[in-house]
Amino acid sequence: MKKQTVLKVLLYALFILFAAIIILPLAWMFLNSLKTNKELFQNSLALPEVPQFGNWVKAWQSGLYQYFGNSLIVSVISLIGILVLSSLLAYGITRFQTKGGGLIFLIVLGGMALSEQVALVPLYKILKAIHIYNTYLALILPYIAFRIPFTVFLMRSYFLSIPKELEEAAIVDGYNSFQIFMKIIVPISKPVFSACGIVSLNHVWNEFLFANVFLESKKLMTIPIGLMTFKGDLRADYTGMLAGILLASMPLIILFLCMSRQFIRGLTAGAVKG
């Protein structure tokens, strides 16, 4: 009994340590984003004498709103494409018993082994050849393609855990395959959709390599690339830069806090089923 108590205490201590590693840098950034540059260099751990909420406004008006909007457009369209295509493919693999179903799944999983760095030059040439280089599509299409394998992997595992009796009852009622998917599978698969959505959105929102290579126009830059130019625009305004970084991080933090339960359920089911 004492051994179990000691293990539980050590486990909680480990969790607290991990939480502190994540929370403390965020708290430091938030604290210093409300200071003047002089206060930041005098003592970065002290509380601000007068909270400078104007730093947040200045960061937003210095161009962050444009990068934020670009990231929003790219992320929303990419996320819709990833979830729609991956869910249809995963459902087809799990429900339609075709001879090549297993091979198709293996080919899709093979995409997880393909490095983005290896595909960079071929993708650059392809995007140039089809005249979509330096457009939103230059990011959206690769993002969708590279996130489909992992998303299909998770969704397939979840769909395998759904009792086939539900679908058989729907067939008796006259539903076709697409109606079954939309009216039965999708509503009861919200946890895995949420998990896949958050994981994919985190990748797309923070992706740097493709955005740096496939975009040239400052008007199209997303958050990761925009923050680089943002640093140059603000020059020595370090508190403004901290405010900009926090503003760029807020959407994902808020989304995860709102959907954390669904996220955990989706990942757990995808990890142990199938």
Q: List the CATH number of the domain containing 77.
A: 1.10.3720.10
pLDDT band at 274 (very low <50, low <70, confident <90, very high): very low
Any domain includes 45 = no
Any domain includes 103 = yes
Any domain includes 250 = yes
Average pLDDT of the residues of the chain: 85
DSSP H stretches of helix in the chain? 2-33, 37-42, 54-59, 65-95, 101-110, 120-129, 137-160, 164-172, 177-180, 186-188, 190-206, 209-214, 223-234, 238-272
Any domain includes 238 = yes
> Highest-confidence range of 59-63, 99-103, 236-240, 268-272, by mean pLDDT?
59-63
- At 83 the pLDDT is 95
Cβ atoms within 10 Å, residue 101: 14
Q: Are 189 and 163 in contact (CB under 8 A)?
A: no
pTM passes above 0.85: no
Any domain includes 6 = no
Q: Which residue has the higher pLDDT, 117 or 204?
A: 204
Any domain includes 10 = no
Any domain includes 263 = yes
pLDDT band at 233 (very low <50, low <70, confident <90, very high): low
- At 272 the pLDDT is 46
Cα-based distances in Å from 273 to 37, 56, 155, 228, 257: 52, 45, 10, 42, 25
Q: Are 248 and 56 in contact (CB under 8 A)?
A: no
Q: Are 134 and 220 in contact (CB under 8 A)?
A: yes
CA–CA distance, 80 with 223 (Å, rounded to integer): 19
Q: Which of 107, 90, 110 is nearest to 161 (CA)?
A: 90
pLDDT band at 273 (very low <50, low <70, confident <90, very high): very low
CA–CA distance, 144 with 200 (Å, rounded to integer): 9
Express each pLDDT in 138-174 by its tens digit: 999 999 999 999 999 889 888 888 888 888 888 888 8
- At 43 the pLDDT is 86
Q: Specify the residue for token string 């625009």.
A: 233
How much is the average pLDDT of 204-224? Answer: 90
CA–CA distance, 106 with 87 (Å, rounded to integer): 16
CA–CA distance, 61 with 64 (Å, rounded to integer): 7
Any domain includes 9 = no
Torsion of CA 40, 44, 45, 48, to 10 degrees: 0
* DSSP designation for 130: T
pLDDT exceeds cutoff 50 at 191 = yes
CA–CA distance, 31 with 264 (Å, rounded to integer): 30
5's tokens:
């108590």
Q: Which domain holds residue 90?
A: 61-272
- Say how many domains are in the chain: 1
